[in-house]
Amino acid sequence: MINRVVKCKSCKQKKKLEKKEFFKRNVLGVRKRVDIIKEWKEKRKIKRSEKEVTRQAIKEEREKKETKQIPNLLPIKDKIKTYSYLSSEEKRLLYKKYLKQGYDPETSSLKIKKCADYMTKLREELRTKKVPEEEISSRFKEEFAKLLMQE
């Protein structure tokens, strides 16, 4: 009789084993092999899911790189256009045109510089011939249109 409760021999053994298990697991920190294996499996699942997430992130980055957007290298300026040089809007148009044709950004920027040099030389020639400013601006527009149309 324990605590005014009569227990049989098998109940006493069960209670004793439970107490022993509690002491082993919680106080001494000894764990069952099955528990350790379950913990390892959970850790493996977590690692696999983390790897999948990183793989998906890498794939997304690669897709973004493959579908490059045209970089906005030339800033927009809200100035009134004077037909004495290539404005930023005109440069942007030429830049987009060259990128669509398949040139890389470096070669397209070099081509734009060549176009700008050509236009400044044209303007200087017309000014040395003392052509009126209206005619210079119309000629400048025509030459720019030719630049956009040629491939």
Tell me which residue has tokens 């001494």: 28
The model's pLDDT over 7-51, given as tens digits with 9 standing for 90+, comes to 788 888 888 888 888 887 777 777 778 888 988 999 999 999 999
Alpha helices in the chain (DSSP H): 9-22, 33-66, 88-101, 105-128, 133-149
The model's pLDDT over 41-97, given as tens digits with 9 standing for 90+, comes to 999 999 999 999 999 999 988 888 777 665 555 554 444 344 456 777 878 888 888
**Domain range annotation of the chain:** 9-66, 88-149
The model's pLDDT over 102-147, given as tens digits with 9 standing for 90+, comes to 888 888 888 888 888 888 888 888 888 888 888 888 888 888 788 7
Nearest to 35 by CA among 49, 48, 21: 21
Residue 101 in contact with residue 151, Cβ under 8 Å? Answer: yes
pTM for the model: 0.42
